[in-house]
Amino acid sequence: MEIGSAPPILTLEDYSYLFPDMDSNFLSLNKKRQQEEEEEEGDNNNNNNNNNNINIINNSSGSSLNDLLSSLIQFDNKEVMVDPEEMKPTIPFNPNYFATASQFQGQFNEFKLEVEGLENDYSGSPTKKPRRSANSPDNNNQVQASAGSSSMVPQRRLWVKDRSKDWWERCSHPDFPEEEFRRSFRMSKGTFEMICRELDSAVTKKNTMLRDAIPVRQRVAVCIWRLATGDPLRLVSKRFGLGISTCHKLVLEVCSAIKTVLMPKFLHWPDESVMKKNKEEFESVFGIPDVGGSMYTTHVPIIAPKTNVAAYFNKRHTERNQKTSYSITVQGVVDPRGVFTDVCIGWPGSMPDDQVLEKSALFQRASKGSLKDVWVVGNSGHPLMDWILVPYTHQNLTWTQHAFNEKIGDIQKARDQIAHYLLHHGRAGTTFL
């Protein structure tokens, strides 16, 4: 039976790609030995028949496999020499790797906390954690631990627009002229300093990590300038070097402090001893006994409110100015020296004087009998009561009635001059009736 060609026999070279570190001399030696065996077997094949060819193929295949196995065993047992330089890693190992990694991780954590703190500051979240003091022990330990790295981290600072404060710095200087200060703020320096001292505890703010607080004198000056001149907040902002919203907030805060701190201390009805002195001064100047004060009513223009507009409509101002006007009423009582002893502020401008009087604390005090044997001089818009003196309004007055009206008019003129100076010059646009 005829046998086909035998399958190719794999040699050691065919496996060389699996062993890139195999010695080249070892491979060439095995190749030469294999060639000699193949030549020997070729001579024997010329003398054998076809049946012997099968045995030769089987023997040669077996010997080749045996050679392969023996070669592998010899390679495994052979000591391979490796250059020590080749054993060095490509990337050198840093013995301080873990310390350096820990330092970088600490810097990253600090930066993360800084970013979270800034986000909380801008968002105004109520769950914001309280800031730690710059002198706290924990903060000092962190600064010492990261002395080399955290020194490059910038301090926390809120961006603030740079505005000129030259005018206020010049105005607050001790050498600023008294006349110019009075013309600007409608009061003397002594009165201004007294107000600042009284309101110091109520309006003082503490410095923060982001910026310094506005001083008390500047806070009070912003409010007084706004009330004295009536300038819009935009001009007040430029003059004092502050933001518009900041000036608006300062005006509200200082006005609230004046109401809660100064009014109970300086604005109150006089006691018996003071009232006795007031009666004597009024009688010595105007000749009418038992007069304890002079009452007047004025209107302060306002912008039309969003609700109940008709109640604040001022008909008299509208007809006189030929322009729709809205106002609120201010009722006050002054003593012979022009000191306010009672005020009632805020009722709508459409209310007449007698209705404003009925809703005031002065009327309630008189109803309880606290104004016994005391006269308060009013005007023709007030009702005649057992504690209010008003002029005669009917025609054909007698000489006695005419002389009485003249004395009442003198008191009203003195009152109007004091009120005009205190309010009309202190608030632009105020009109007295």
Residues 383-425: tens digit of each pLDDT: 999 999 999 988 888 999 999 989 988 888 877 766 665 555 5
| Direct distance between the N- and C-terminal alpha carbons of the chain, in angstroms, rounded to an integer | 145
Q: Name the burial class of residue 94, with classes exposed (0-12), middle (13-18) and buried (19+) by CB atoms within 10 angstroms of its CB.
A: exposed
228-265 confidence digits (pLDDT tens)? 888 899 999 999 999 999 999 999 999 999 999 999 99
- What's the confidence (pLDDT) of residue 211? 79
Give 385's DSSP letter.
Answer: B
The packing angle between helices 178-185 and 216-229, to 10°, is 60
Among 416, 409, 410, smallest CA distance to 285 is for 410
Q: Which residues in 216-236 are b (16+ Cβ under 10 Å) and which e? A: bebbbbbbbbbbbbeeebeeb
Dihedral in degrees, nearest 10, Cα atoms 175, 176, 181, 185: -100
DSSP helix/strand/coil, 208: coil
Contact 427, 300 (CB under 8 A): yes
Q: Whose structure tokens read 């009070």?
A: 220
162-210 confidence digits (pLDDT tens)? 778 888 999 889 899 999 999 889 889 999 999 999 999 999 998 888 7
Total-model pTM: 0.56
